[in-house]
Amino acid sequence: MPESYRGTKFETVFMNRASFKVDKAKDLVKWAHELAAKGFCPPQGEGAGTSGNLSARYKNGCLITRTGADLGKIVEDEFVNVEDVNMVDVRVAVTGKYEPSSESMVHMAIYRSRRDANAVFHGHSPDILAHARALGVPETKSEVEYGTRKEVEEVLSALKQTHFVVVKGHGFYCLGKTLDECGKRAVEMLEKARALK
Ligand SMILES: [Zn+2]
Q: How far is the CA of 39 from the centre of ligand 1 (A)?
A: 15
Q: What is the DSSP letter of 102?
A: T
Please name the residues in contact with 196: beta carbons below 8 A apart, sequence gap of 6 or more.
131, 134, 135
Q: How far is the CA of 5 from the centre of ligand 1 (A)?
A: 21
Per-residue pLDDT of 111-162, as tens digits, reads 999 999 999 999 988 899 999 999 999 999 888 888 888 889 999 999 988 9
Q: How far is the CA of 106 from the centre of ligand 1 (A)?
A: 10
Per mean pLDDT, which range of 24-28, 47-51, 124-128 is the poorest?
47-51
Per-residue pLDDT of 172-184, as tens digits, reads 999 999 999 999 9
DSSP 130-192: HTHHHHT--B-SS---TTSHHHHHHHHHHHTT-SEEEETTTEEEEEESSHHHHHHHHHHHHHH
Q: Is the pLDDT of residue 48 over 80?
A: no
Q: How far is the CA of 1 from the centre of ligand 1 (A)?
A: 31
Q: Is the pLDDT of residue 66 over 60?
A: yes
Per-residue pLDDT of 10-19, as tens digits, reads 999 999 999 8
Q: How far is the CA of 42 from the centre of ligand 1 (A)?
A: 12
Q: How far is the CA of 173 from the centre of ligand 1 (A)?
A: 9
Q: How far is the CA of 33 from the centre of ligand 1 (A)?
A: 18
Q: For residues 8 and 140, what is the distance between their CA atoms, to the nearest angstrom?
A: 22
Query: Any idea which fold 3-195 has?
Result: L-fuculose-1-phosphate Aldolase (3.40.225)
pTM for the whole thing? 0.93
Q: How far is the CA of 190 from the centre of ligand 1 (A)?
A: 16
What are the structural domain ranges in the chain?
A: 3-195
CA distances from 67 to 77, 96, 177 (A): 12, 12, 24
